Structure 1
Amino acid sequence: MLRIGLTGGIGSGKSTVAALLVEHGARLVDADRIAREVVEPGTPGLAAVVAAFGEGVLTADGALDRPALAAVVFADPAQRARLDAVVHPLVRARAAELVAAAPDRAVVVQDVPLLVETGQAGSFDLVLVVQAALEVRLVRLVERGMTREDALARIAGQATDEQRTAVADVVVVNDGTREELAAQVEEFWRQRVAGRA
């Protein structure tokens, strides 16, 4: 098995790179998707979040109110650490189950937005970092419906490009077209993956 850690800041295009790697045959373990699953209604994860932050983080139908929770945790690093302490162990446990279920010769890509922040770089055979210029990221995030201020706050709450580069085996720059990005992913796969798995 070849385990690749994929990371990049919000708005960098990491999800697009993940999809391109899947097209090449990789199996994807998506930490963001798992993070949503572990706090679905009726889960111990949601109960733990409510215990930590109160009923105000729930919608009328009992689901997690993500904007309400984000307003609390992105405004206060201590509250964010509190949330991370609840959610990260659940995400890691589920990701480990999914990796263990993959075939022995699989190429497993773990999409981990907070790979650097959570100290997981050493857990992978290769770390692939996706980067994009700040203004490019801001445009993408605003197009997704975020305010510029919220986007800047999210970016500021994550590792810097320099911190990500320090743990990277390969850096892919996503300031151009999807075709240019696909060509970089193709090159990564050919040079670093093909024949190793």
Structure 2
Amino acid sequence: TSKLQALNELIHPVIWKRTFALVAQARLEVPLVFIMAPLLFEHGVEAACAGVLVVDISEKKQLERLMARDKLTKSEARERIRSQMSLSAKAERATILIDNNGTLSALRRQVEQVWQERFAPIYGL
């Protein structure tokens, strides 16, 4: 874990600098930019964002989906989850919370509702 932490301390500042440069460039052309960043809170960069959308999921489903997506063992998936802030802590800090415990169509409906209620009126999209 100390090796991973050392690597993260070297790489993440560079990644965030590049990310925000890309966001600034994109904002010249589009009114709204989303950043997908599992470690947003851990690196304290949420203050640079206009809002934070957190997708919440049960620990069991998160573990299952992570194992399937990344071809990880259960212990590898658990370790990755443990290396991040808990979803409940992220949910408490979210500007917008989306529940991902249901079906894909239920998730899509929530995203569309958030889009129509929160983003479309502000950004005219």
> Please, what TM-score do these two structures have when normalized by structure 2?
0.89
Shift of 1:128: 0.1
State how far apart, in whole Å, the 2-side matches of 1:134 and 1:195 are: 34
- Partner residue, 2:39: 114
Preserved CA contact (<8 Å) 1:115 1:121: yes
- Partner residue, 1:173: 99
Structure 2 runs not aligned, ≥5 long = none
Alpha-carbon displacement from aligned partner over 1:132-175 (angstroms, at most 9, x marks no partner): 11111121122231101111111111101222022201111111
Shift of 1:99: 1.0
Alpha-carbon displacement from aligned partner over 1:79-135 (angstroms, at most 9, x marks no partner): 222111111111112112211212365210011110111111211111100111111
- Partner residue, 1:100: 24
1:125 match: secondary structure: coil
- Partner residue, 2:64: 139
Letter in 2 for 1:151: A
Preserved CA contact (<8 Å) 1:136 1:175: yes
- Partner residue, 1:156: 82
Structure 1 runs not aligned, ≥5 long = 1-75
Higher helix share: 2
Preserved CA contact (<8 Å) 1:121 1:167: no
Higher strand share: 1
RMSD between superposed Cα atoms in Å = 1.4
User: Is 2:8 aligned against 1:84?
Assistant: yes
- Partner residue, 2:115: 189
**Percent identity for Structure 1 against Structure 2:** 31
Letter in 2 for 1:120: V
- Partner residue, 2:51: 126
1:107 match: secondary structure: coil
> Please, what TM-score do these two structures have when normalized by structure 1?
0.58
- Higher RCO structure, 1 or 2 (CA under 8 Å, sep 6+): 1
Larger Rg: 1
